[in-house]
Amino acid sequence: MLANPLSVAPMMERTDSHFRYFLRLISKRVLLYTEMLTTGALIHGGHERYLRFHPLEHPIAAQFGGSDPGELAQSAKIASDYDYDEINLNVGCPSGRVQKGRIGACLMAEPKRVAECVEALRAAVSVPVSVKTRIGIDHHDSYEFLASFVEEVATAGCKKFVIHARKALLNGLSPKENRTVPPLRYDSVFRIKQDYPDLEIVLNGGISTLDQVASHLEQVDGVMIGREVYRNPYLLSAVDRRFYGESRPEPSRIELLHEYLPYIEEQFNQGVFLSTTIRHLFGLFHARPHSKEWRRKINELIQTKSSDASNVMAGLIESNYH
């Protein structure tokens, strides 16, 4: 059985520590990722805010955004104090703002620099270093381009590649459009695994069901799911039994909420607004009876900024959702 057959993608303004904690209540085994953390923020902006996480969140990877090997090494050394299980370099984000910092998908055009970044990261930490990338950028979208990039970076010691099976268009499309408009080309990712069998290849992009995960795992080492998990976090409830061989019964949605309540109260007592911890619960009852009512009530709680966090949530849970 694969060590990490399933992971949840790093998502800006989504995969913060609170959402990761909640996901860990649903699945004990799926690999979680932080939001992309830029080297500038880590070096100059109070790294405790960005890097701290609850011990329950293991296994967890920190994703870095940067292109300067020295700054990446410095960031990795800072992160090493927090006991992450993996460091991941973002070479896939198509955002124009990110490109201005020479971060993300634009780095696919500089495989030697990416290799230097990987070497610096590996020298700074003892945990595995991986790269998340696209299958290409703009008109550089041939299989040969992708294979050449992977081969160059692999020579620096990178053994794991998470590949979003779409190319990135660096001009003319928004980040949101870049997640849907360029066509998916799973065959390119499958071929990379065939041609480089010693590398760990993880497929990302357009995956929304566990049956799709199972099918893709016949050809790659792992699958990463992104927005679908945020839209429907309960999707992960069957993961531990299906892909990790765990015997733990699937938790019910109500059980999960009761498990999350002490965390909400703990965070509230530490000065974290109720809205910050419950905003990730909108999709818990996705496609279930009362789902619209659930989202409406969560939104009302966020707007009221209640000072009685656990009692308010407990009352909401007990009201209609057994």
Point out the residues that are catalytic. Answer: 93
Nearest to 113 by CA among 136, 97, 93, 131: 131
b/e code 198-219 from CB counts within 10 Å (16+ = b):
ebbbbbbbbbeebeebeebbee
- Per the CB < 8 A criterion, the answer to whether 256 and 25 are in contact is yes
Give the pair of three-digit tokens for residue 193: 């695994």
Q: What's the CA gap between 45 and 125, in Å, rounded? A: 21
| Beta-carbon-side half-sphere exposure of residue 97 (alpha carbons within 13 Å) | 3
Mutual angle of helices 291-304 and 309-320, in 10-degree steps: 160
